[in-house]
A = this chain, B = another copy of it.
Amino acid sequence: MNGPLGSKTWAIAEGYIPANSSVAGRELESHETVCILNCGERDAQVEIAVYFADREPAGPYRFSVPARRTRHVRFNDLTEPEAIPRATDFASVIRADEPVVIQHTRLDSRQPALALMSTVAFPDR
């Protein structure tokens, strides 16, 4: 059940971290997530560039996803080289040095009843 799967370059044209949450605590806090699956046998080095409407892109945000692991990274948690502003439209390009699979999910809890959305990102291949 092994072997690399996916693409080394992906894009997510949607991005928005709601400015607030109706619920306290990390679990149900409004968040925007990039889910990365590395089902290959080599660790993947990942870089994210974040695009905006009216300024030059931010990043690169760098981290690794070990072989045979998944990481679900919240854009809320990205701080180096700079935090992602809240309530601001953005988009992202994710590049890895090994094939990975990427899915984009948002949990929005600005109102008491949370809302969800998810889509596989756009692969370049």
Contact = CB atoms under 8 A, between A and B. Distances in A.
Interface of A: 1, 5-6, 9, 11-16, 27-28, 33, 35-37, 39, 47, 49, 51-54, 56-57, 59-60, 68-72, 87, 89-91, 93, 95, 100-108, 110-124
A123 B33 CA distance: 21
6 contacts: A1-B49, A11-B37, A14-B72, A39-B93, A70-B90, A70-B91
Nearest to A68: B57
Nearest to A16: B72
B1 A95 contact: yes
A119 B16 CA distance: 15
- How many copies altogether? 4
Contacts of A33: 14
Given A108-B116, A119-B119, A102 B13 contact: yes
Given A11-B6, A39-B51, A69-B54, A27 B115 contact: no
A91 B71 CA distance: 9
B71 A124 contact: no
A102 B13 CA distance: 6
B117 A1 contact: no
